[in-house]
């Protein structure tokens, strides 16, 4: 499943539209997860949205990168 998610995201990156308008399916606002569980939930939501998008705006990938970094950080400080 993880490789399918990666392939879908990689394929969407080929369709990256820097001029695309944000839609209801994308993000009106975004807040990093305060806990590991919330961060995990955010990541699932981002991946679910990626599956539904034919083309992505660059902010979508910025949000994904921010949440992945946040998820790693939350695991590090919990050690």
What are the DSSP calls for 13-63, one per residue? Answer: HHT--TTPPP-TTS-S-----SSHHHHHHHHHHHHHHHHH-SS--HHHHHH
Q: Output the pLDDT for position 48.
A: 80
Contact 46/63 with Cβ under 8 angstroms?
yes
Q: Output the pLDDT for position 30.
A: 78
**What is the tens place of the pLDDT at every residue in 2-43?**
667 667 667 766 666 666 655 555 556 778 999 999 999 998
The more confident residue out of 28 and 47 is 47
Contact 60/15 with Cβ under 8 angstroms?
no
Which residues does 40 contact at the CB level (< 8 Å), separation at least 6? Answer: 33, 71
Q: Output the pLDDT for position 70.
A: 93
Q: Output the pLDDT for position 71.
A: 93
Per-residue pLDDT band for 46 (boundaries 50, 70, 90) equals confident
């Amino acid at each position: 499943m993880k490789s399918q998610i990666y392939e879908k995201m990689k394929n969407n990156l080929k369709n990256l539209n820097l001029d695309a308008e944000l839609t209801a399916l994308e993000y009106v606002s975004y807040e990093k997860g305060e806990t590991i569980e919330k961060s995990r939930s955010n990541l699932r939501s981002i991946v679910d949205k990626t599956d539904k998008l034919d083309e992505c705006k660059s902010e979508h990938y910025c949000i994904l990168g921010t949440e992945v970094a946040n998820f790693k950080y939350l695991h590090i400080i919990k050690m």
